[in-house]
Chains A and B, each alone.
Chain A
Amino acid sequence: MKPAFSVLFLTTLIGMGQGLLIALVAGQFYFVIGSGFEQDSGDFYAKGSAVALVLLGLGLIASFFHLSHPERGMRSIMRWRTSWLSREVLLLPACMGLAALYGLIHWFDITPVLITFGNQKNLDLSMAVGFLLAGASAFLFITTGMIYACIRFIKEWATPWTVVNYTLMGLSSGFAAAAIIAALENALLRDFLAGWAALFTLAAFAAKGFTLWRNKHLPAPFSMKSAIGVHHGHIRQLSQGFMGRSFNTMEFFTHVHPEILHWMTALMLVFGFAAPSALLLAGWADRYLPALIAALPIQYLGLLAERWLFFAQGRHVQNVYYQRAS
């Protein structure tokens, strides 16, 4: 498939934003159920939500570049019953709304207690909105992944691992971003966030490694026999029926030298996973701030490479009809 830059930025940016929101809510929850009575300031959560909002907003803007009729964008929520794409379009603004609410509640410190449990723990408004927000963010991960995983004509994508990968990479970059904000704000959550960021990055590394291995061993994506219904063991294409280009020869192929694919894979593995997990571990264990800060931009480059490869290496069934350009 052809990677579209709008989609590369959309998926990586909102993934990081969702991960950051889940990190904030997880952090707040960690203190709420903890034994002590310590908690980070509302400012920290508000600033974190603001950063997440910016990331989600940038993703939303990037998504508009993918549409040729963005003015009709509102229509794309019509088919949420059947289309994962439609569900994503619905959930993204919902997440942004909840994130804004969550940030405002923390900023103005509006924390009326909603329920008090038997163990004297309270569920206040900010935590309740936080749960909603984390749920929406998690579901948004699923919808983004399912947009690709539900296309059964691209075997590289049609697997639950697509959803797992999208989620883990989002969590890893989101927790890393949260750890940086925590470090800059001198928040108590810094170690909690940095540690989990490192763990998620390692988990994403493992899942990606497994997916690479899986995709190497896929059966042939298509069969000439059933494509044209001729029962012969040796069929080749003589002509694609036209000279020049068509939508089919452009949208479904990435014409790059195989060498470039190798370099991109190396870039993805080192920048996207290996280097950031080492830096995050250093930033967590040694509390070394420059390492913590450096991890994120390096990882983001790697994730862009990952997303580019995800598209470039997806082989669509329709390519069976374009085995020969002439």
Chain B
Amino acid sequence: MSRKQLALVIDLNICVGCHACVTSCKEWNTSGWAGPLSDTDPYGADPLGVFFNRVQTFEAGEFPHTETIHFPKSCLHCEDPPCVPVCPTGASFKREEDGIVLVDYDKCIGCKYCSWNCPYGVREFDTKQGVMKKCTLCADRIYDETLSEERRKPACVLACPAGARSFGDISNPTSEVSQAIRDNAGFQIMPEMGTQPANHYLPRRKTKLVIHDDELMRADNPLLKEGELPRPQLSDPFLDDVTSW
């Protein structure tokens, strides 16, 4: 891995399922020059809309031994993206310079074939514009030099109140994201599909504090008396007196 590959690393141990990334993603990407992420009937009984990022919730185990897992998912910018070669028009492509998988809305004919070739279900068709859409890793803001350096990140990363999302180049072993993956057993979802997703997840980690009895009960207090020890008398021997140097 030598080419630059931008990606998100999402810590499932931190995500609280607040959907802040979902709403900030929608807000940023529906307001850009590429046109809105169309909604139909947004406030009605049967809403339908395009989102790049969705958070789902799963439960592992059986009551009462259960664990809730909030699971955010957007395009994983696969290193071997099956959605790209199948596109008949070349509208879907993977950028050489930073590994972002994008759709050229001016070339897409709306055949939807790419969405069938993504195992993760992260491409969404915009029925109003008639083109396929997906996460762009905020390609329109991460290089924007009018923003201050620390704001040049995807909207979802900036929005996450818990700090569960980080962004960077996973092909650079010293980057923050690479270290996070290495140090915390970061993993890819559905690795058996052979897509080599660039986005990684950090697993749920349980931190258990083990407290032994002797940590609650002082073992070096044979008289079981609490309080200050009596001050030694001046006549009492010093350490110097009992030690032969």
Contact = CB atoms under 8 A, between A and B. Distances in A.
A142 interface: no
Contacts of B167: none
A241 B121 contact: no
B110 interface: yes
B46 A244 contact: yes
A250 B126 CA distance: 13
Given A229-B201, A246-B49, A79 B89 contact: yes
A72 B107 contact: yes
A230 B190 contact: no
A211 interface: no
Given A151-B116, A234-B61, A243-B47, A226 B189 contact: yes
Size class of B's contact patch? 35 or more
Nearest to B116: A151
B36 interface: no
Main secondary structure of the interface of B (DSSP, over half): loop
A304 B88 CA distance: 25
Contact of B56 (A66, A241, A245): A241
Interface string A6-22: 00000000000000000
Contacts of B123: 247
A154 B121 CA distance: 13
Interface in A235-281: 235-248, 250-252
A70 interface: yes
Contacts of B89: 72, 75-76, 78-79, 86
Nearest to A71: B109
B112 A251 contact: yes
Interface stretch (B27-35, B66-74, B226-234): B66-74
Interface string B40-64: 0000001111110011111111100
Contact of B189 (A67, A76, A229, A235): A229
A240 B90 CA distance: 31
B136 interface: no
B163 interface: no
B120 A232 contact: no
B48 A245 contact: yes
Contact of B113 (A85, A240, A252): A85
A274 B21 CA distance: 55
A85 B61 CA distance: 43
B161 interface: no
Interface string A222-236: 001011111010111
Contacts of A246: 48-49, 51, 54, 124
Contacts of A319: 121
B88 to A, nearest CB: 4
Contact of B109 (A69, A147, A248): A69
Contact of B120 (A67, A150, A151, A318): A318
B68 A238 contact: yes
Given A240-B56, A246-B124, A229 B61 contact: no
Interface of B: 12, 19, 22, 46-51, 54-62, 67-69, 71, 73, 82, 85-91, 107-113, 115-121, 123-125, 127, 130-131, 187-193, 201, 203-204
Q: Nearest 5 CB-CB pairs, A to B?
A: A68-B130, A318-B121, A68-B110, A82-B85, A86-B88
Given A1-B116, A241-B19, 13 more contacts: A147-B113, A153-B82, A153-B116, A226-B192, A229-B187, A230-B204, A232-B61, A240-B56, A241-B55, A247-B50, A247-B125, A251-B112, A317-B119
